[in-house]
Amino acid sequence: MRKIHHFISGQKQIGTSGRVHNVYDPSSGLVQAEVDLASLDEVNEAVTVAQEAALSWKESSLTQRTQIMFAFREILSARANELAKIISREHGKVISDAFGEVARGIENVEFACGIGQHLKGEINEQVSAGIEVYSLRQPLGVVVGITPFNFPAMVPCWMFATAIASGNTFICKPSERDPSASMLIAEWFKEAGLPDGVFNVLNGDKVAVDGLINHPGISAISFVGSTPIARYVYERGTQAGKRVQALGGAKNHMLVLPDADIEMAADAAVSAAYGSAGERCMAISAVVAVGTAADEIVEAIASRIPNVKIGPGDAPDSEMGPLITAEHRDKVAAYVMRAREAGAVVVEDGADRNLPKAGFFYGPTLLDQVTRDMECYRDEIFGPVLSVVRVTTFEEAITLINSNPYGNGTAIFTRDGGAARKFQHEVEVGMVGINVPIPVPVAYHSFGGWKASLFGDAHMYGPDGVRFFTRAKVVTARWPDPGTSSVDLGFPRN
Ligand code: NAD
């Protein structure tokens, strides 16, 4: 059995807790590895290593950090296929999708290559006679990234690239379900010249997360995962005096107006609902169809579903792989069963497909006549299940979306610029697509939802990422002409 350990102080470190977690190959359903789960002693050790490394890393020059980032970027992009294969093997997503994930992660490393530009402060000369005021941004110290299973390479890249380039040391706590991508990244970072202890991987579960939250040596926690755990990490982390950004789950709506290009909207809905088997925080899980658009979009989506090729993640013609575990697949199936009982029209049921016998597969599923009180609409199912909610007016659609507790992503499909402008202005969601179904911002903007999709003030990566992983200092400086010096006991005034 393959063993996955920790990566501390520049080397693999065998776990000592005696606790392990099975890592499956979701395409075959077999256990392929065991990952160590950290104890509190191992948490303490990782933090001590990162604290020691932080002393010299924060003194490294911007030039040195930038050169390491450029070297790391080259390694990542030259070996993107290798990383994509490892992601696919543990997560189950198809290779092309895993490759796309790596490409989006590399964008964050490229952003960090320009860290000198992003850390530029501001200065005012002569705020008073002979006095300058300038602002700086300095690293926080040891920071932590706790990441979900569904993007085992990209989400860590969202966090560590900016954190490390800004002068922090980093402890990555990946999902115990697919930890190998982080381990490979750690090795490649070392190869790129990153000093030992600056990037560490601590594998684990709740014990490790709680240990990191409570450790006084940690300054900030960046978290991505489900809403209940995001809320927990945010509340506990801030109570422990840490800076926390915690991104949670989602229920992303795609609004289709009667004037939309229905064929284009259907292509987008199928891609965004069933890509990565629906295990994306930006997946479309509800189509809100206005008026006459409803019958047309349901028919157009249904006609595309039989063409979606389902198969093992590494098979060259697969377009959709399995779900992450058997339990999760069964949970998705139970949602579909209860949706039928609640009165939803099951246009396509993924269980009826000729699915591979082994592995955790469930086919693309389309539910029509879904209402807002139904569980399949309220909950984030996180599987290949798309619900269609029919409404009569555009205003009703916006009200529906705004009354949803989540606010991660949304999209409108229309040819009407005025309607798109109204939607963009009024919708209470953090990331909006106009004829774009998955509006994940590029690395030089920031990523973040509203409401139950994000706890904290800072969005992830981009300019918000730089602010999150640094703190501001303002210096008021006077280098007076000695000839003007005198004693003045009054409070200094500008
Ligand atoms: P999860 O919440 O189960 O796990 C996320 C992390 O928290 C993992 O590292 C896990 O080990 C840890 N964790 C799990 N249970 C814990 C507990 N009880 N106490 C402390 N730590 C715990 O999420 P997941 O299933 O790995 O990922 C899927 C979820 O992540 C979905 O809800 C999805 O929407 C969300 N997600 C959100 C975004 C976003 O940007 N908003 C991006 C990706 C995924």
User: Which residue puts its alpha carbon closest to atom 26 of ligand 1?
Assistant: 148
Q: What pLDDT does 336 receive?
A: 98
Span from the CA of 277 to the centroid of ligand 1 (angstroms) = 17
**Residue with CA closest to ligand 1 atom 34:** 249
Q: Is 281 a catalytic residue?
A: yes
| pLDDT tens per residue, range 332-385 | 999 999 999 999 999 999 999 999 999 999 999 999 999 999 999 999 999 999
Report the atom number in ligand 1 closest to the C-alpha of 249. Answer: 34
- How far does residue 223's CA lie from ligand 1's centre (Å)? 8
What type of residue is 57? W
Q: What is the pLDDT of residue 452?
A: 98
Cα of 174 to ligand 1 centre, how many Å? 10
What separation in Å is there between the alpha carbon of 224 and the centre of ligand 1?
Answer: 6
pLDDT tier at 494, thresholds 50, 70, 90: low
Catalytic residue, candidates 113, 157, 172, 281: 281
Nearest CA to ligand 1 atom 9: 175
pLDDT (tens digit per residue) in 281-295: 999 999 999 999 999
Query: What pLDDT, on a 0 to 100 scale, did the predictor assign at position 479?
Result: 84
Q: What is the pLDDT of residues 447-464, one digit of tens each?
A: 999 999 999 999 999 999
Domains of the chain: 2-248+453-475 (3.40.605.10), 252-434 (3.40.309.10)
* Ligand 1 contacts CB of residue 382 (under 6 A): yes
- Does residue 106 carry a pLDDT above 70? yes
> Could you identify the atom of ligand 1 that is nearest to the CA of residue 175?
9
205 CA: nearest ligand 1 atom: 11
Ligand 1 centre to CA of 249 (Å) is 8
How many Cβ atoms from other residues are within 10 Å of residue 185's Cβ? Answer: 26
Cite the DSSP H helix spans in 115-253. 115-118, 154-165, 180-191, 206-214, 227-239
What's the pTM? 0.96
Mean pLDDT across the chain, nearest whole number?
A: 97
